[in-house]
Chains A and B, each alone.
Chain A
Amino acid sequence: MHAEKVKHDFEPKIVAFVCTWCTYAGADLAGTSRMQYPSNVRVVKFPCTGRIDPVFILRAFQKGADGILVSGCHPGDCHYMAGNFHARRRFAAFRKLLEFVGVDLARLQFSWVSAAEGGKWVEVVTELTERIRAMGPLEEFKELELEECWSGKIDTPELQEAYKAIP
């Protein structure tokens, strides 16, 4: 039944921030329906997209994510009435800010996936994973993570190793 697993040179790390009521249930449906999607995605569950702070996105990039998905209920379906409406504005603004600082927005995907849309979940995740795979690793944040102010920098091989070990 399982499709042949293709070996790739680069397996991107994708973090998905999802709301528990719709998208998480949708992903669950994909799973119970035995639909296949890339295992690159790591799902982090929240009560609502309204709880997904832009800082989480930033921090995921800093800690090594190559691509990020934020997904929740369709407009009008929010379990808390308006959480996703607020989130929509916040993310509309945040992506503009990220773009202005120099982050490629192709690495950040937003979607509405309901509890019944297992198929859409698979489609969104697969498309994002393949897009990021084609783009390659997100180097900017990784390089930045290793940077030190000149005065605190020590150019020793051991320390360089130790730093590199920090994700």
Chain B
Amino acid sequence: MPKMITEQNLRALIDLLVKEGSRVVGPKAAGTMTLYEPLAAGEELVLTELPRRSAKEAFFPLCETILTYAKGEEGVQVNDIDPARFPETVLVAVRPCDAAAPGILDAVFSWDYDDQFYQERRKKTAIIGLACTKADDACFCTAVGLSPAETQGSDLFLTPLSGGGFRVEAVTEKGEKLLARYSQLFGEAGSAQPLPPAEPGGEKLELARIKAWLDANFESPLWQEIADRCAGCGACAFLCPACHCFDINDEGTEAKGARRKSWDACGFAKFTNHASGHNPRDAQNKRYRNRLMHKFKYYDDKFGKHLCTGCGRCVRACPVGIDIKAVLDEINSK
């Protein structure tokens, strides 16, 4: 029998999880926008707006310390960060375009190097997805094979019901467990109908066709055309749920400091800059090309997936109006 949860009980569930010591992360009001942030109480949850930044932060922090060092009397002491101490996390009200991302990123973070920091966070996180009932003109999840009602990537999936509350679906074993453990908060879904899913606009993209064009067009005037406009910031990559490049920096003094891993973006002029001063991507056209190629060709070649969930964040954020959907439409029509 399908289950349902009222909005009130969803907030109560958050309160309960927080009380039990879990870190609960969900959309929360942050100044002029909504961001995925740790919730102190269920009432903080914002259900109406797509967070400005994606949920990838829960697995792949904006900046994390990977070791600290200090010079003492017995020489330099290096303290490794033990991933076993990462907190158990429940991600709440995650949109399908965000929930789909970790499933895509698992491939690269467990590929030739087994990234313990990512893996451990992933293992300790349960995702409660939320179907979208509202889309704007930047959204294009349906064009890249997802949908506003896509359950994949979520452990538990909520669909808003017309009379209020949500239909609850356990997608994975983790989800089943959550459902069983807090069964007192879930009721039987009656005859209430789910709200119609959002309808993102945009022509459907033939990703195989786009990949075939990318296979053949490493050199194309298109890259320069876009690079002429590109300002070279990292807004697109930093808001993207699937971009996962990072940089490692040692910061501190000779006596004490930390090694930190933080997000990097292929838009930056210093991206892939070698210590020698040589940079294989020494011009913006090569860097923008890398952005598209990585998303729709290289990742596909390697893992059979593409690095785009159609959330539209890069489209909304680009300060010079570069619209990846428009670029893909153009390639699609070639």
Contacts and interface: CB of A to CB of B under 8 A. Distances in A.
A contacts B directly in the complex (CB < 8 Å)?
yes
B64 A166 contact: no
Given A150-B37, A167-B256, A162 B68 contact: yes
Interface stretch (B11-19, B81-89, B189-197): B81-89
Nearest to B55: A151
B61 A151 contact: yes
Interface in A124-167: 148-152, 154-156, 158-159, 162-163, 165-167
Most buried by A among B38, B68, B258: B68
Contacts of B60: 151
Given A149-B62, A154-B81, A166 B258 contact: yes
Contacts, number: 55
B222 interface: no
A166 B257 contact: yes
A163 B85 contact: no
Contact of A166 (B37, B68, B82): B68
Contacts of B70: 162, 165-166
B79 A154 contact: no
Contact of B79 (A148, A151, A155, A158): A158
A148 B63 contact: yes
Given A154-B81, A155-B87, A156-B85, A163 B62 contact: no
B65 interface: yes
Contacts of A156: 82, 85
B253 A154 contact: no
Contacts of B280: none
Contacts of B68: 159, 162-163, 165-166
Contacts of B315: none
B251 to A, nearest CB: 9
A165 B64 CA distance: 17
A149 B63 CA distance: 7
Contacts of A167: 253, 255-256
B44 interface: no
Contacts of A152: 61-65
B58 interface: yes
B199 interface: no
B26 to A, nearest CB: 12
A153 to B, nearest CB: 8
Contacts of A154: 65, 81, 85-87
A39 B57 CA distance: 46
A117 B86 CA distance: 58
Contacts of B87: 154-155
B201 interface: no
A159 B58 contact: no
B321 interface: no
Nearest to B64: A152
Nearest to B63: A152
Contacts of B25: 150
A151 B37 CA distance: 8
Given A154-B81, A159-B79, 13 more contacts: A148-B63, A150-B38, A154-B85, A155-B87, A159-B65, A162-B258, A163-B258, A165-B70, A166-B256, A166-B257, A166-B258, A167-B255, A167-B256
Interface of B: 25, 37-38, 57-58, 60-65, 68, 70, 79, 81-82, 85-87, 252-253, 255-258
In the A-B complex, the 9 residue pairs with the closest CB atoms? A151-B61, A152-B64, A152-B61, A151-B57, A162-B68, A156-B85, A149-B62, A152-B63, A166-B256
19 contacts: A149-B57, A150-B57, A151-B57, A151-B60, A151-B61, A151-B62, A151-B64, A152-B61, A152-B63, A156-B82, A159-B79, A162-B258, A163-B68, A163-B258, A165-B70, A166-B257, A166-B258, A167-B253, A167-B255
Interface of A: 63, 148-152, 154-156, 158-159, 162-163, 165-167
